[in-house]
Chain A
Amino acid sequence: MKFDRRSFLQLIPGAALTATGVQTSWAAGEPLRVGSILSVTGPAAFLGEDMKAGLQLAVDEINASGGINGRKIAWTFYDAESQTQKALSATRRLISQDKVELIVSGGNMSGIALAMAPMAEAAKIPFISSEGALAIVTPVADRKWVFKSTVDDEDVLERIADYCEKKKIKKVALLADSSGFGQGATTQMKKVGPRRKLDVMYETFGPADTDMMPQLTRIRDSGAEAIICWTVTPAGVIFIKQAQQLGLDKRTLIHSYGFVSAHYMTLAGNAASSILLASLKLPVGDQLPDRDPLKAGILKLFKDYQARFNRPASLYAAESYDAAMLAKEALTKVGGDVSKLPQGLEQVKNFAGKSGVFNFSPERHSGLSKKDIVLVNWKDKRFNLVDYD
């Protein structure tokens, strides 16, 4: 049921006061107003479309099962067009005009979610971000209302360090793009590298660069045994191709979870077989060992998503789906009181989502860990599990 001005007027002859009271918004039966902002146009659109689909699926599933504590979700969605400014005015509208009680997903770009977080915090509206940067939820003292459903760069780098240790690799190169995503990883690597006794060299490239030979030549001459590339832009394909041309495919090449895209792999052609990707488990869901807590859930998501949208589910769809399901889990824990949602989320332990197993606490508002990361490769036109734990 939609709650608009007309239905409000119809209520007036009856017990109008219940609808205008201050703290009655979570009364059973009235819809739970949830707002989302994603970029379904602009450069980040390829992520946004999947994330929107993930949310649609989650909202419909929740509503079909009777809603959260008897309240169905009324979902409001705005397109941020990959622009922070647009996202911020949409956020303002969600809060002041649409009066949403909770926000899920922030523009599918870390930069946008980072800008939205303080607004949600100031308005005391719970915000569950499906974007990557750790700074969205830190420091926790200033982010009491903000949580994220994605993995932290630090955990991914720790996981890659584990792999390097296993393969006795001591010297690595981090080739990161100059965006917030790439530079965030560079900052984290400067912590992880010394801690794991890795000798790290750093190189940068522009997201729209057309040539990486200078950086790769430098890396080749430095003798780095593994090269980690950190980007979500098509420039990552240039990395794969040019690394092969320089003969670097005999070393260990690793792409981050931001590049786990079948489309990119296809564009890289036969050079794609030379790389590993540090990914969440979803793309190799069917190859996970049966003891894995996520396997059954991932297979169900594959089936439901394919049936609904007629395309395979991606990591990004899983991230936004999880964000919505975490809201449900947390609200159920606190009896549906949205103002207590943060306390509810902080109690969530060992919650098996689609992208990983979530554990939140009052000190940590980011739920995944390095155990949720596996290494995969691209062979036979699909992602395959290479290194499970």
Chain B
Amino acid sequence: MHAGSAILQLLVAGIGTGSIYALIALGFNVVFKSTGAMNFAQGEWVVMGGMISALLFASTHNIGLACIAAVVIVSVIGILSERLVVWPLRRPNALLITLVSIGLAICSRSLVMMILGKKPVGYPGFSEASTLFVGGIAIQTQTLWIVGLTLVFLLAMHLFFEHTIMGKALRAAAADRDAAAIVGVRVETTVMLSFAIAAFGGALAGALITPLTLSSYDQGALFGFKGFSAAMLGGIGSLPGAIVGGLALGLLEAFGSFYISSDFKDAIAFAVLLAILFARPAGLLGRADVVKV
């Protein structure tokens, strides 16, 4: 087999996995933008997206309907989570919300296990034909769906944050909570909205990847970890950074495990991540925060 086709095959694999990481990283970024906190429940929403889709697919046999409904349900769960654990905080600050989100993640995982079960679940891909062969390489049609829908979602988010009042309000609330409140931004609503968007992105990632990898209640931590790394790599708070970071991490894993060793797949990816963060602490596309004292 030619080296060229192997490289292309890895490229496809890396972009597919990378897109999923980008979607999860986006969730981290949105919550960070509005609260300055890291939301470690992000990975659990990915799992919920996949597992609820599977449950709905089993009863409706309509893949599109199942996934859309699941994403909506998980978005509502995102809102409820915010109302239940973040909103009641008397003095919300970034560190406190980050800590609370870890508790939320553990709770969510147990609930998923108890309600949706311990067995891994799956369903067929969105298209009838599962694999296309282009120039000697195999491309899963689901990978195309993943890349396509990720791009659409990220573009929508970009427009939302740059060109709508609501999006600008979210950014204002993140930049300075008190100042935003003074100029009339309902800060608590913006936090709730950011949780809804983050849950939406996470659930979408889960619904998209389950046909390829199955979904089980204990995968959330790993998804969260990968998404977090991608967000840091790209530059936390930067939307294009989520894409760049996600794809970079996906490609690093694919090529690292092929050319060096599959034993060190994660180690290679994280070694590069560390190296980049040493050189550019704010990530590839992030801007360093200058705080005047």
Contacts and interface: CB of A to CB of B under 8 A. Distances in A.
Interface of B, secondary structure class, is: helix
A234 B120 contact: yes
A267 interface: yes
A215 to B, nearest CB: 5
A215 B130 contact: no
A123 interface: no
A43 interface: yes
B118 A46 contact: yes
B120 A267 contact: yes
A159 interface: no
Interface stretch (A162-170, A237-245, A339-347, A354-362): A237-245
Nearest to A203: B262
A221 to B, nearest CB: 4
A214 B255 contact: yes
Interface string B207-226: 00100111010110010000
Interface residues of B, number: 38
Interface of A, secondary structure class, is: helix
Interface string B1-17: 10000100110110011
A279 B258 CA distance: 30
B258 A208 contact: no
A190 interface: no
Contacts of B189: none
B136 to A, nearest CB: 10
B10 A214 contact: yes
A234 B118 CA distance: 12
B263 A45 contact: no
B74 to A, nearest CB: 19
Interface in B173-204: none
A334 B140 CA distance: 61
Given A218-B258, A234-B120, A246-B138, A210 B218 contact: no
Contacts of A214: 10, 13, 253-255, 257-258, 262, 265
A209 B262 CA distance: 11
A16 to B, nearest CB: 47
Contacts of A60: none
Given A210-B17, A211-B16, A217-B6, A267 B121 contact: yes
A257 B262 CA distance: 23
A263 B119 contact: yes
Nearest to B226: A210
A161 to B, nearest CB: 23
Contacts of B9: 213, 217, 246
Nearest to A178: B263
Interface in A208-232: 208-211, 213-215, 217-218, 220-221
B92 to A, nearest CB: 32
Nearest to A237: B214
Nearest to B130: A245
Contacts of B219: 208
A46 B258 contact: no
A247 interface: yes
Given A213-B254, A267-B120, A204 B262 contact: yes
Contacts of B209: 210
B122 to A, nearest CB: 5
B131 interface: yes
A378 interface: no
B262 A215 contact: yes
A267 B214 contact: yes
Contacts of A203: 262
Contacts of B262: 203-205, 214-215, 218
Contacts of A235: 213
A241 B212 contact: yes
B131 A46 contact: no
A43 B214 contact: no
B124 interface: yes
Residue of A217, A237, A263, A264 with highest tally of chain B CB at under 10 A:
A217
A217 B130 contact: no
A211 B130 CA distance: 15
A206 B124 contact: no
Nearest to B215: A234
B263 A220 contact: no
Contacts of A234: 120, 213-214, 216
A269 interface: yes
Given A208-B219, A210-B20, A211-B16, A220 B214 contact: no
A316 to B, nearest CB: 14
B6 A221 contact: yes
A38 to B, nearest CB: 14
B118 A45 contact: yes
A360 B119 CA distance: 35
A269 B214 CA distance: 12
Nearest to B7: A217
Contact of B13 (A43, A213, A221): A213
Interface in B155-188: none
Given A214-B258, A245-B140, A247-B138, A238 B213 contact: yes
Given A204-B263, A217-B9, A237-B122, A211 B213 contact: yes
Given A237-B214, A238-B213, A245-B130, 6 more contacts: A45-B118, A46-B118, A210-B209, A214-B258, A217-B6, A267-B214
11 contacts: A178-B263, A204-B262, A205-B262, A210-B17, A211-B13, A218-B6, A218-B258, A221-B6, A246-B9, A246-B138, A267-B121
